[in-house]
Amino acid sequence: MRALHHFSLQPQSRRIRIQLREKKIDVDLVAERPWERREELLRLNPAGETPVLVEDGGLTVVGAQVIGEYLEEVYPESPLLGGDARARAETRRLVAWFDDKFEREVTRNLLHEKMLRRLYGQGGPDSGAIRAGKANIRIHLDYIAWLTERRNWLAGAQFSLADIAAAAQLSVIDYMGDVDWESFPEAKHWYARVKSRPSFRPILADTWPGTQPPPHYADLDF
Amino acid sequence: MRALHHFSLQPQSRRIRIQLREKKIDVDLVAERPWERREELLRLNPAGETPVLVEDGGLTVVGAQVIGEYLEEVYPESPLLGGDARARAETRRLVAWFDDKFEREVTRNLLHEKMLRRLYGQGGPDSGAIRAGKANIRIHLDYIAWLTERRNWLAGAQFSLADIAAAAQLSVIDYMGDVDWESFPEAKHWYARVKSRPSFRPILADTWPGTQPPPHYADLDF
């Protein structure tokens, strides 16, 4: 059976799980704790990082960006990249925006400082980084509002990998209670639409030992 | 005329210039200094980053990863991604390896500390980061050696975007004289083969004001 090695708090792992569900591709989930540097994970991916997809025939596909493209190529039903080169360029631009820029400016400052540093044995959180993450997220929520005022979904008329990448990042920050949804009603409205998709439900049901998300986290009418 | 907004010291800009040449696509080069946050660049890419490709019809494609995919889709001659899904997954894995992991572990520690911090007005270099970059590059040169002992080019039998991404990163580090080629003869041999391609020549001819690469930098028989 096809297997996805993932880390449930990692936005890139979440976005592949959502994409697989959207495309109705069955997969066994293998939970990884990347900081443990488990031998099997290192064998599959010398970088020691999740997500890693292992196909039935043994083909190993490494990293969210690569798995994302691979799934669109090999399983063309329910396409999530866009219909022409222009649409695909816009979808990919926004996927990179959330995978790279949001990750660097928000997720590393909040998720990494508040939860991952301890797991990776790197000591306690840096309060300056947390403040920066909380300031930076406002710019991204404004950008989501700007986009959704002009388009049905982030990259255009159709639900796409851009919505998945953005919602996967935000879901992790929301798990920690760090999204001020009330100040960004358009972004909240867009996120509620993503949340209500069946593909998103398993993500919202995940919890991490010793932590608890805020009450609105899994609530579809938050 | 098609235009590429680039920053000549940035590996991602270099890799798109090489890809364009490999595919024999003509382009006007527009030199950017991203730290100046020029209004036209911000209008083309709200992230303010290079590279940005602007097609004749006005279509704007942003970021090396997105431009790389776009060019392979729209200009299928001289394909650089690989012939089937397995080959493309391997090429993309290695492109991400060099774009993300090499960039984070080596280029940010060397290029950013030694040259970019000053340009971005962030003060002088951090000697600890420079030491880390010089230690990390050895792991990557070993990995290139390991790959080229098993394959003709990094991702397989054919020259691909993986070779371009790796050589673009290394060319910037080599410009600063920070690659100990003599200790890594297999990596050196592979790099000499990339360097000798006509697509690489314009990169090697570039210099940055107030700096000078070591004598071997542009030498094809270094």
The H or E element containing residue B62 is strand B60-62
Residue B211 burial class via C-beta count within 10 angstroms: exposed 0-12, middle 13-18, buried 19 and up: exposed
Q: Which one of B61, B70, B97 has the shortest CB-CB distance to A47?
A: B97
Minimum mean pLDDT among A178-182, B75-79, B205-209: which range? Answer: B205-209
Q: How far A214 CA sits from the closest chain B CA (Å)?
A: 31
Residue pair A92/A76 in contact (Cβ under 8 Å)? The answer is: no
Q: For residue A115, what pLDDT is reported?
A: 87
* Amino acid symbol at A137: I
CATH number of A3-74: 3.40.30.10
* Amino acid symbol at A119: L
Neighbours of B48 (CB within 10 A): 15
Give the C-alpha distances (Å, rounded to integers) separating A18 from A135, A156, A163, B144. Answer: 28, 19, 10, 34
**Residue B38: pLDDT over 90:** yes
| Average pLDDT of the residues in B191-199 | 97
Block residue for tokens 């054919």: B158
Q: Closest Cα to residue A199, out of A150, A148, A169, A163?
A: A163
- Contact A143/B at CB under 8 A: yes
Chain B residues whose beta carbon lies within 8 Å of the beta carbon of residue A143: 46
Per-residue pLDDT tens digits for A6-21: 999 999 999 999 999 9
Over pLDDT 70: what percentage of chain B?
100
Interface residue of B12, B71, B93 to substitute, partner A, most A CBs within 10 Å = B93
- pLDDT bucket at B123, cuts 50 / 70 / 90: confident
- Contact B98/A at CB under 8 A: no
Q: Which one of B63, B70, B86 has the shortest CB-CB distance to A59?
A: B86
DSSP code, position A36:
G
Identify the bridge partners of residue A119 per DSSP, sorted by sequence position: none
Q: For residue B210, what pLDDT is reported?
A: 87
* Inter-chain touch A92–B65, beta carbons under 8 Å: yes
Instruction: For chain A, give every residue range classified as CATH 3.40.30.10.
Output: 3-74
Block residue for tokens 């992230």: B47
Helix, strand, coil abundance in chain A, percent, nearest 5: 60, 5, 35
Residue B61 three-state SS: strand
Helix A64-74 × helix B85-96 angle, to 10°: 160
**Residue B106: pLDDT over 90:** yes
User: Given phi > 0 = left and psi -120 to 50 = alpha, else beta, which region is B127?
Assistant: alpha
- Contact A206/B at CB under 8 A: no
Token representation of residue B216: 């071997």
Residue pair B46/B34 in contact (Cβ under 8 Å)? The answer is: no
Chain A residues whose beta carbon lies within 8 Å of the beta carbon of residue B46: 143
Q: For residue B121, what pLDDT is reported?
A: 86
Q: How far B208 CA sits from the closest chain A CA (Å)?
A: 27
Four-way CATH pick for A85-198: 1.10.3720.10, 1.20.1050.10, 2.60.260.20, 3.40.50.720: 1.20.1050.10
Instruction: For chain B, give every residue range classified as CATH 1.20.1050.10.
Output: 85-205
Block residue for tokens 């790197």: A122
Per-residue pLDDT tens digits for A97-155: 999 999 999 999 999 898 888 888 888 889 999 999 999 999 999 999 999 999 999 99
Using only C-alpha atoms, what is the Rg of chain A?
17
Which residues are CB-contacts of A159 (< 8 A; sequence separation ≥ 6)?
A: A22, A80, A153, A197
* Inter-chain touch B88–A101, beta carbons under 8 Å: no
Block residue for tokens 């729209």: B74
- How far apart CA A220 and CA A218 sit, in angstroms, is 6
Which residues are CB-contacts of B28 (< 8 A; sequence separation ≥ 6)?
A: B1, B2, B3, B4
Sign, CA torsion B32/B33/B35/B36: negative
| Average pLDDT of the residues in A47-55 | 96
Per-residue pLDDT tens digits for A53-92: 999 999 999 999 999 999 999 999 999 999 999 999 999 9
* Inter-chain touch B62–A143, beta carbons under 8 Å: no
Residue pair A4/A16 in contact (Cβ under 8 Å)? The answer is: yes
Token representation of residue A24: 């109705």
Residue pair B50/B136 in contact (Cβ under 8 Å)? The answer is: no
Interface residue of B86, B112, B142, B161 to substitute, partner A, most A CBs within 10 Å = B86
Q: Which one of B66, B74, B92 has the shortest CB-CB distance to A96?
A: B66
Identify the bridge partners of residue A54 per DSSP, sorted by sequence position: A3, A60
* Amino acid symbol at A70: Y
Q: Which fold has domain B85-205?
A: Glutathione S-transferase Yfyf (Class Pi); Chain A, domain 2 (1.20.1050)
**Residue B222: pLDDT over 90:** no
| Average pLDDT of the residues in A153-178 | 97
Residue A145 three-state SS: helix
Count of H-run helices and E-run strands, chain A: 9, 4
Chain B residues whose beta carbon lies within 8 Å of the beta carbon of residue A61: 89, 93
* Inter-chain touch B66–A143, beta carbons under 8 Å: no
Instruction: For chain A, give every residue range classified as CATH 1.20.1050.10.
Output: 85-198
Q: How far A201 CA sits from the closest chain B CA (Å)?
A: 28
Helix, strand, coil abundance in chain B, percent, nearest 5: 60, 5, 35
Residue pair A155/A162 in contact (Cβ under 8 Å)? The answer is: yes
Q: Which one of B47, B63, B96 has the shortest CB-CB distance to A66?
A: B96
- How far apart CA A201 and CA A178 sit, in angstroms, is 20
| Average pLDDT of the residues in A13-41 | 96
Chain B residues whose beta carbon lies within 8 Å of the beta carbon of residue A73: 85, 88
- How far apart CA B158 and CA B164 sit, in angstroms, is 12
